[in-house]
Amino acid sequence: MKHIVLPRDTIVGKNVLEKIAGITKDYESILVVTGRTTAKIAGDRVTDLLGCDCSVVENGATNDEVTKLHEKIRENEITLSVAVGGGTIIDVTKLAAFRTKTDWVSVPTTCSNDGISSPVASIKSNGASLSTKACAPIAILADMNIIGKAPYEFIRAGVGDTIAKYSAVRDWKLGHIIKGEYYGDYASSLSMMVAEVVLNNVAEIKERTDVGLSCLLEALISSGAAMAIAGSSRPASGSEHKFSHALDMLGGSKGLHGDQCGIGCIIMSYLQGEDWKRIRSSLRAAGCPTTAKEIGIDEALALAALLKTKDIRPERYTIVEHIKIDKEIAENALHNTEVV
């Protein structure tokens, strides 16, 4: 049995921040969660609109921050948390809400990843970001005026994270064929459609047109829905995410999570025997990094991260386990795709 929970309200548009009061009207005890920077962007405004208290995440998406928020929710008998910010704020809020069995609302200030709507939180531990089961938001309120003003590095990261669904879904299907793992046709089809739509709109996204940004944001929200339907992050996270997590563990990369996943998707699509050149071309058209140098790492670190992928969540069967990746295979993949 699966318990599928999807947001009951999703509002995307310009000048929609004021609608937060309507979304939260059934809750008496509300807490806004934001960061120092995002407070100035939208957090303070949401706090004023709701007339409630505010909690600031100071030190990233860590277990300490989750515990701090967890305790504040419990001690103040908060029934609804409103996350106003980027991935860090949203991940901390959703996991604290999950642990306290309370509701939360997603108010993103960037569109850098699908955590906007997903029931999965990425929390840092020992220098690495690891996926943790959480809960989906009861509602999403995305103001395009705010998101459109975010630095382009966050937008391009959203492109990378979305296009990476190509390799993730193929890995999921491989796990089903080889290991008998559950595979959902609907969730996988939704995830692939998300990737295809973004790939076909990279020019609009790069120009920050209303069409392009709406396309990316809706794709990221849909990706979160695919995970909720599947009951896991499988439709959105495969070997390319393992590569990103390995880079986080090894340190040195200057790329955002989506940048690393995009490069990982190029490599893994090559190993899967798929059209990796189309992936690379689309990422380049969106202004995304496609080489190790562009995210500040050298060949040695790229190779080490690719080899380390087999140690990341080894229970999740992907192409790297299937081909039993070794140094020769990894070096060939990096050179043939011109990642290094």
Please state, rounded to an integer, the average pLDDT across all residues of the chain.
95
pLDDT, tens digit, 9 for 90 and up, residues 69-86: 999 999 999 999 999 999
Q: State the number of CA atoms in the 13 A half-sphere of 213 facing the CB.
A: 23
pLDDT, tens digit, 9 for 90 and up, residues 172-205: 999 999 999 999 999 999 999 999 999 999 999 9
> Is the pLDDT confidence value at 127 over 80?
no
Structure confidence at residue 227 (pLDDT): 94
CA–CA gap between residue 133 and residue 136 (Å, rounded): 10
% of the chain beyond a pLDDT of 90 = 93
CA–CA gap between residue 235 and residue 164 (Å, rounded): 10
Q: Which two tokens stand for residue 53?
A: 């208290």
> Is the pLDDT confidence value at 5 over 80?
no
Which has the closest alpha carbon to 135: 107, 106, 165, 161?
106
pLDDT, tens digit, 9 for 90 and up, residues 227-250: 999 999 999 999 999 999 999 999
CA–CA gap between residue 91 and residue 155 (Å, rounded): 18
Domains of the chain as residue ranges with CATH = 9-147 (3.40.50.1970), 152-336 (1.20.1090.10)
CA–CA gap between residue 187 and residue 337 (Å, rounded): 29
The amino acid occupying position 175 is: G
Q: CA distances (Å), 311 to each of 71, 175, 249, 302, in order?
A: 33, 16, 11, 15
Find out whether 302 and 290 touch, Cβ atoms under 8 Å: no
pLDDT, tens digit, 9 for 90 and up, residues 83-126: 999 999 999 999 999 999 999 999 999 999 999 999 999 888 76
Other C-beta atoms lying within 10 Å of the C-beta of residue 189? 13
Structure confidence at residue 265 (pLDDT): 98
